[in-house]
Amino acid sequence: MSRTNPPPFGTAFHNQMPITRFDGKTWQTPSMVPSNKLEMHPAMHVFHYGSSCFEGMKAFRLHDDRIAIFRLDQHVARLQNSARLLNIAVPDFEMTKQMIIDVVRSAREEVPDAPGSLYLRPTLMGIDENIGRAGAPSESALLFVLASPVGDYFTFGSPLKLLIEREHARCAPHMGSAKAGGNYASALSWQIKAKAEYGANQVLFCPNGDVQETGASNFILIDGKTLITKALSSEFLHGITRKSLLELAPTLGFKVEERSVHVDEIKDVIARGGEAILTGTAAVIAPVTAFIDNGQEIEVKNQTQALTLRKAMLDIQSGQSPDAFNWLTIV
Ligand SMILES: *Cc1c(COP(=O)(O)O)cnc(C)c1O
């Protein structure tokens, strides 16, 4: 596999993965198994009652050939939070961390050169073999960590059109901060419709005009030198790229406002030459190129600040800039 030109995002996997099961009392000692098959009983809780959640993080190859995982502790903590919200057994913090480190070490030779990376996908699910547990949590659980070499998700100059959805939310408002497959499934119909009817790349969910997030990334408005984004709530996913950017931006001369944003404000800011970005592990920071609202397209003419912020973040992730915030775990 080429280290400079990995296959399309999410399609290639390191051939081993760490795995562990919880039997209702204790987690097994994790072991490495082939990553291309999993034996599962068709009655397992996850297949019927949606007890599953996951994480997505990246390991980067630094210029000195060391490998670093970006914000490992934050991602493990969020997996635990998702597990709590879904009533799945909460995996031990240190165990999960070690499983992630182990798979990165195992796949070390396959970590692409930056801006490519090794994408890591811890996945947790309820595995009670009992279809009678519709109203009860699964007592047993399974956790594995897939590793996938990926290239740069972002291609400069490609359109990123957001359809403003003023009515519906992405998912149930009390579940937004769980990184759960079910939330993605519930947003899918809007996503498909947006593409088919408007040629939009993503849906920006703004129930009653309250700007929340897209199907898989957080939204930040850039008004001059101010970043504006919704304050944390149970309604949306607390992105670690978002959090990192809000810490990094003040060192680059930006102000940060975490507060409610109404759709009308997006239009005002863009009309005045402002910018907008999406943040998430896969694309890191992606400039929005247009909004579609009430059938009208609003072009975002400027991407300057977005690209500055993107470069600053990638430089830290890939070790080009000093790790001033201690975000990297060297493996
Ligand atoms: C994963 C995810 C994000 C981005 O989170 P990061 O930690 O930055 O990758 C944003 N929104 C949703 C719905 C997500 O699932």
Measuring from each residue's beta carbon to the nearest atom of ligand 1, which residues come in under 6 Å? 56, 179, 213, 216-218, 237, 239-242, 279-281
Q: Is 63 buried (19+), middle (13-18) or exposed (0-12) by CB count in 10 A?
A: exposed
The protein residue whose alpha carbon is closest to atom 3 in ligand 1 is 217
Q: What is the pLDDT of residue 25?
A: 97
Is the confidence at residue 104, as pLDDT, over 60?
yes
Confidence label for 1 from pLDDT (cuts 50, 70 and 90): low
Closest ligand 1 atom to residue 213 Cα is 11
- Mean pLDDT to the nearest integer, 56-70: 96
- Mean pLDDT to the nearest integer, 169-192: 96
Strand partners of residue 44:
129
- Give the 3-state DSSP-derived string for 35-66, with helices as H, strands as E and coil as C: CCCCCCCCCEHHHHHCCEEECCEEEEECCCCC
Q: Distance, CA 280 to ligand 1 centroid (Å)?
A: 5
Is the confidence at residue 157, as pLDDT, over 80?
no
Of 53, 212, 235, 237, the one to substitute when testing ligand 1's pocket (max ligand atoms within 8 A of C-beta) is: 237
Q: For residues 166 and 264, what is the distance between their CA atoms, to the nearest angstrom?
A: 11
Are 251 and 279 contacting, i.e. CB atoms less than 8 angstroms apart? no
Closest ligand 1 atom to residue 244 Cα is 8
Note the pLDDT tens digit of each residue in 19-51: 999 999 999 999 999 999 999 999 999 999 999
Q: How far is CA 291 from the centre of its chain?
A: 22
Q: For residues 209 and 207, what is the distance between their CA atoms, to the nearest angstrom?
A: 5
Q: For residues 142 and 124, what is the distance between their CA atoms, to the nearest angstrom?
A: 6
Residues 252, 64, 2, CA angle at the centre, nearest 5°? 105
Strand partners of residue 19:
31, 144
Q: Distance, CA 25 to ligand 1 centroid (Å)?
A: 31
- Cα separation values, 149 from 6, 68, 218, Å: 6, 14, 23
Q: For residues 177 and 182, what is the distance between their CA atoms, to the nearest angstrom?
A: 12
Closest ligand 1 atom to residue 279 Cα is 8
- Mean pLDDT to the nearest integer, 284-313: 96
Note the pLDDT tens digit of each residue in 187-223: 999 999 999 999 999 999 999 999 999 999 999 999 9
Q: For residues 16 and 108, what is the distance between their CA atoms, to the nearest angstrom?
A: 12
Note the pLDDT tens digit of each residue in 134-153: 999 999 999 999 999 999 87
